A and B are shown apart, each in its own frame.
Chain A
Amino acid sequence: MTTKYETVIGLEVHVQLNTDSKIFCGCSTEFGKEPNENTCPVCLGLPGTLPVLNKKVVDYAIMAGLALNCDIAEYSKFDRKNYFYPDLPKAYQISQFDLPVAENGEIEIETEAGLFKIGVTRVHLEEDAGKLIHEGSIDKSKGSLVDYNRTGVPLIEIVSEPDMRTPAQAKAYLTELKMIMEYLDISDCNMEEGSLRCDANVSLRPVGQEEFGIKAELKNMNSFSAVEKGLEYEVKRQQKLLDEGKKVVQETRTWDESLNKTISMRGKEEAHDYRYFPEPDLVPLEIDAAWKEEMRKEIPELPREKYKRFISELGLPEYDAGVLTGDKDLAVFFEEVLSDYDDPKNLSNWMMGEFLRLLNENGQAPFESGVSPINLAKMLKMIDQDIISGKIAKKVFEKMYNSGSDPETIVEEEGLKQISDEDELENMVDGIIADNPDAVEDVQNGKDRAIGFLVGQVMKETRGKANPGLVNQMLRDKLMD
């Protein structure tokens, strides 16, 4: 009889905060500069230099803690985490050990299997290290180059409780976390650029057992899909070991994207004693109720709240609500249009359809195109009022997207107004009927499809401007019964 195992997953997520300057000095945090351009004596750890805490970094950390439903510490402090590595200029990282900024939070996630609450153990502040660029291959390399632009960039480390039970839940948690950070606008949250990083702890235990199994730590998963694939692989690997009666080794494993497996880093890493002690160059951090409240006010409606509200108040389907709230700017754009337009579902269709299509094609974000919320609202009203047809509207929209013009001007300039005048239409229709006797006969013989053909001919004749609904009705009236 094979034992049934339960998967236990915890995630440690590092989020780079997008403050203008670093956590302990005034250097820029801007990504993509020349190596060692964003450095100064402090973040290079030159002898004699001292850290000075950037207040905005703490503001952002408080916001993150509150958004994750944590308790914010009234008294918190920094500690030194000591180890030697070329990308760590002081040979210690200023971090937080036992008194972090925030603790005891939780967030709600949704997967196909349902809703789950995932605990957040803690959120703490720390400084990032530099980047090593290795020349050549590991066995033939002459050396490595170090870029210290990243040292001192502020990070928050968010540690979850080991509450996730499937890789899908882990992915949902990570996705939700990313969205929350984006809504707060405190990070670029870009896994490819390294402003969002994820390590995982994975273990298996027999179903019903309270004690956790031996865990492996997974690193080097550099995309959402890598996280999911890495976890899936690891769960299978551990399952296989246990089924064969073997033990899982407590170790760090790296995800290899090219081989699609996790590989042991055992032997390459020594057990670290970080010799944590309180950072003597910084004073303790005291966060009073007033500061907390000030930051609470900065928190906008968060993704899950907005998602639920779009469904309950606006009557949108779950799918639509999911897509629209999945991107903060898209949600904000949507709501701005709605301040001037009252059909959420129709707007949703347009945004998920034409708008997203063009944004993806052009690699733009919602507020970067020529379409403004006001103009989209105007355009939709024009469709509702039958001034233009839905099909013509697509042309208008694309023009708006590229030119930034408003819909009235475009329709006027291009002469795209829908023809709804009955007399004018009747002339067209009579003309088409006269020119297409075969199709007319088909209609009268009951071939409904031929109506479509005739409507098409009218549309062709009017270059799409005839009101197709009216044309259709007119043809039916004239040709049927």
Chain B
Amino acid sequence: MNIYDLTIHELKEKIAAGELTPAEIKKAYSDRINEVEDRVKSYITIIDELAGDELADYENKKEGLLAGIPIAVKDNMSTDGIKTSCASKMLENYKPPYNATVVEKLNEAGAVIMGKTNMDEFAMGSSTENSAFFVTHNPWNLNHAPGGSSGGSAAAVAAGECAAALGSDTGGSIRQPASYCGVVGLKPTYGMVSRYGLVAFASSLDQIGPITKDVEDSAILMNVIAGHDPQDSTSIAGKKEDYTKYLKEDVSGMKIGIPEEYFNLEFDEEVKASVLAAVEKLKEAGAEVETVHMTDASYALAAYYVIAPAEASSNLARYDGVRYGLRSEQAADVSEMFTNTRHEGFGDEVKRRIMIGTYALSSGYYDAYYLKAQKVRTLIKDDFDRIFNDFDLILTPTAPSTAIELESKSDPLEMYHTDIFTVPVNIAGVPAMSVPCGFDSNEMPIGLQLIGPHFGEGKIIQAAYTLEKLLNINEKRAEL
């Protein structure tokens, strides 16, 4: 296997055994980027060749859980002195003066940050086609989308342009691209990973999580990034574990629920078949699988498309041209400066959601929309809690299809619908992981979603790890 195809744990083994140095690893990944990047286009910013002293520093950086490991970071996470654009014209030249907490943690763990990856603008989208700069291509078929909004991160992992990456997930933005790109993507329990430094989209839904080549790498990255942060008032203390202790091939006695309402929705037959085949494998391995009844997922989607835009309309109001980022040149007064800047700086999908969100919060409509959606949210969370009283995990497909073709969905509502299986998870705040479970007849990856109760990352990792070993497809790589 090429160095750039290796997982984090494999790279660490080789470093420990003296077979590879961090400098060699960095070079292998840099060369790979040079080889494929003009076709995949995962990166908005590549953090280039290090100068002499820093390279030497590298050689010595053998401490830390990720010492010498190349990691890519989605371009909505603040990196001190390095452009953080959120794939928007609004922040095209914005360089934050501080690091996001997760970036600090990566640095402390000795990781080598390869660059900032492409995304849907301000994380709003499901295909990375909403990036203001360029489109990222799915390494498995360059005419297909990598998914979104963390499309750049997922594609970079799948193409071997980094060992692993960080993405963010508000309605499925880690899991769905992971599914499309045939990699593992985990959205942790809300509050497990600090949001400090993550440019906010929907504050009550956003979470940062790992996108990796396999489940073991996901556990390793979680060990680095999870944990309480005093700078994030919504981050939780006392719940972090050593996630690598769940890397056991054992699902005997695990109760897994299959929600009938989700599977009854219309979606790709090959996806359904692949997911159900994986379910059989889990049964054979000793899992107890049963049908369960849950609220129709479309209620969660409706609640999400009120709550998320509402919070976004407020979170994105700070982009007014006054302090940083784009400022429109043509403006006769402050009011014009605000409107022109935002007109020029935001893409269509961002504008669409800001308008929806503003409407949902406005006087006379707040009760009927935002408040109502939050009440529905509580019911959805209760629904998940109810199932988890009796079950360890819930299993669904990650997405209703494999990776869509680029430029295939012009109707925003159709695009929103690709999040149907992932959105309820964010609404309830529970953790979920997408793990590859097969390929369709076009060799496009299919993903399966494992949902756990709050703080149930351990169970998810254990089941996913077992499934991965049973299916044995995780060593397959996209051909570029």
Contacts and interface: CB of A to CB of B under 8 A. Distances in A.
Interface of A: 41, 44-53, 80, 82, 84, 86, 89-92, 146, 273, 275-277, 280-283
B310 interface: yes
Given A48-B76, A80-B314, 16 more contacts: A41-B96, A46-B96, A47-B86, A48-B78, A48-B100, A48-B199, A53-B233, A84-B320, A89-B318, A89-B322, A90-B318, A92-B314, A146-B322, A273-B363, A281-B200, A281-B233
Nearest to A42: B231
Interface string B88-122: 00010010111010000000000000000000000
B314 A82 contact: yes
Size range of the interface on B? 35 or more
B368 to A, nearest CB: 14
B366 interface: yes
B233 A48 contact: no
B468 interface: no
Given A84-B320, A92-B317, A275-B366, A48 B310 contact: no
A47 B361 CA distance: 22
Interface string B323-341: 1100000000010001000
B253 interface: no
Contact of A49 (B86, B94, B196, B362): B196
19 contacts: A41-B97, A45-B318, A47-B200, A47-B318, A48-B196, A48-B197, A48-B198, A48-B199, A48-B200, A50-B196, A80-B314, A84-B338, A90-B318, A275-B358, A277-B370, A280-B311, A281-B200, A281-B234, A283-B233
A281 B322 CA distance: 23
Nearest 7 pairs between A and B by C-beta? A91-B317, A280-B203, A275-B361, A280-B204, A47-B199, A48-B197, A273-B363
Contacts of A46: 78, 96-98, 324
A44, A48, A82 — which one has the most chain B CB atoms within 10 A of its CB?
A48
B290 interface: no
A452 B196 CA distance: 83
Contacts of B313: 275
Contacts of B363: 273, 275
A146 B76 CA distance: 27
A80 B199 CA distance: 18
A41 B98 contact: yes
Contacts of A280: 203-204, 234, 311
B199 A89 contact: no
A277 B369 CA distance: 12
A44 B321 CA distance: 13
A278 to B, nearest CB: 8
B329 to A, nearest CB: 14
A89 B323 contact: yes
A38 to B, nearest CB: 16
B362 A282 contact: no
B425 interface: no
A47 B230 contact: no
